[in-house]
Amino acid sequence: MIAILTGGIGDEAGISRKSAANIRTIIDGAGFQTALFDFPGDLDRFLEARSDIECVVPVIHGKWGEDGSLQGFLELIGTPFLFSSCRAHALAIDKQKTKSVLAPFGMPVAEANVVMPGENWPAWSKPVVVKPIDSGSSYHTAICKSQDELEDFRDKHSNSPITWLIEDFCAGDEFTVGIVESEGRDIALPVIAIKPKTAFFDLEAKYDPAKCDEICPAPIPDSLSDELQRLALLAHKQLGLRHISRSDFIVDSSGNITFLETNTIPGFTSASLMPKALSTAGIQSDKLFYSWIREAIDAN
């Protein structure tokens, strides 16, 4: 039996459940018997079924799923699982640590400050993006174009336990590049151009097709596409990721690229970016998951 773990305690629990439902359909289509467990409520049921579980597919976005917590638990109980290791997830979910690791390899990154809960916020003379250092789907994210806007955002979240990343706002077009492991090698999927109809690629735009155009392959020069794919592969390799990832970038009007972040369990809902890129590349999701699951089981 293949166990699909979803839910979680973070803001992205609902999206995780939608991704898990889609992935379950894919794995069922690959010929496996599956069972769905919603954490933390189904933890006891999962442990009771443990002897029948051959492999786990963790589909929890953000906290618990992409911070390494769930993977650490699975490593502790000796259950094989898909996607990256505990250590790789824990590194990649921290946006500032990720940039610190990748910058020496030539990854272009924006200047940023980290603000812990209770710390004083810095003055900033330029427009900035403020976001949690360790979550996705643009929850609690804002573009502040003045010091007053930054202070208003700070005051609104003064009692929040969130650690914030405040970084230079880079105006430009947003692109994303998925990476998948296929037949023993990492493959960069076609670049997707993201054109939100909202102020930026926020939660609303991510999951409402009417609020964003996602064009795959992106209508950009081959040279830019190749460079974005190269950088996404660089992130995947240097962060030590496995099976799948998706990296996001901004490209300004002069063609300068800025890396934003890498997702280690990217969304897999019907409206998500990875399924679009896989479809454009002609890669069948059921064959990918079949190969990953067989690899995990055989390695155990």
Q: What is the pLDDT of residue 271?
A: 84
- The band of 197, judged by pLDDT with boundaries at 50, 70 and 90, is low
Q: How much is the average pLDDT of 67-92?
A: 96
Tokens representing residue 97 in the block? 């640590």
Q: How much is the average pLDDT of 222-251?
A: 98
Tell me the C-alpha distance between 182 and 291, whole Å: 8
For the 171-283 domain, the top CATH level (class) is alpha beta
Q: What is the pLDDT of residue 210?
A: 66
Task: Give the helix ranges, DSSP H, for the chain.
Answer: 13-29, 43-48, 69-77, 86-92, 95-102, 147-156, 203-207, 222-238, 273-281, 285-299
Q: What is the pLDDT of residue 181?
A: 97
Q: What is the pLDDT of residue 10?
A: 79
Written as one letter, the residue type at 288 is: L
Enumerate residues 6+ apart whose C-beta is below 8 A from 120: none
DSSP 143: E
**Where do the domains of the chain lie?**
2-90+290-299, 112-168, 171-283
Count of C-beta atoms within a 10 Å radius of residue 117: 12
Q: How much is the average pLDDT of 155-160?
A: 87
Q: How much is the average pLDDT of 84-106?
A: 97
Q: Each residue of 159-179: pLDDT tens digit?
A: 888 999 999 999 999 999 999
Rg (the chain; Cα; Å): 19
Tell me the C-alpha distance between 99 and 238, whole Å: 11
What percentage of the chain carries pLDDT values higher than 90? 80
Count of C-beta atoms within a 10 Å radius of residue 261: 19
Evaluate whether 273 touches 267 at the Cβ level (below 8 Å).
yes
Q: What pTM, to 2 d.p., does this model score?
A: 0.92
Give the H/E segment covering residue 81: none
Residue with tokens 């599956």: 34
Helices 222-238 and 95-102, axial angle in degrees (round to 10): 110
Please state, rounded to an integer, the average pLDDT across all residues of the chain.
Answer: 92
Tokens representing residue 169 in the block? 């706002």
- The band of 204, judged by pLDDT with boundaries at 50, 70 and 90, is low
Residue 100 has pLDDT above 60, yes or no: yes
Q: Each residue of 10-64: pLDDT tens digit?
A: 778 999 999 999 999 999 999 999 999 999 999 999 999 999 999 999 999 988 8
Q: What is the pLDDT of residue 48?
A: 97
Tokens representing residue 151 in the block? 């202070």
Could you give the 3-state DSSP secondary structure of residue 103?
helix
Q: How much is the average pLDDT of 113-136?
A: 88
Fold adopted by 112-168? Dna Ligase; domain 1 (3.30.1490)
The torsion angles phi and psi of 70, rounded to 5 degrees, stand at: -65, -40
For the 2-90+290-299 domain, the top CATH level (class) is alpha beta
Cα-based angle 32, 35, 41 (whole degrees, multiple of 5): 160
- The band of 3, judged by pLDDT with boundaries at 50, 70 and 90, is very high
DSSP 104: G
Q: How much is the average pLDDT of 237-256?
A: 97
> Within its chain, how far is the Cα of 45 from the centroid?
28
Q: Each residue of 263-278: pLDDT tens digit?
A: 999 999 988 999 999 9
Q: What is the pLDDT of residue 136?
A: 57
Residue 299 has pLDDT above 80, yes or no: yes
Residue 207 has pLDDT above 90, yes or no: no
Enumerate residues 6+ apart whose C-beta is below 8 A from 14: none
Written as one letter, the residue type at 91 is: L
Q: How much is the average pLDDT of 138-156?
A: 88
Higher pLDDT, 83 or 159: 83
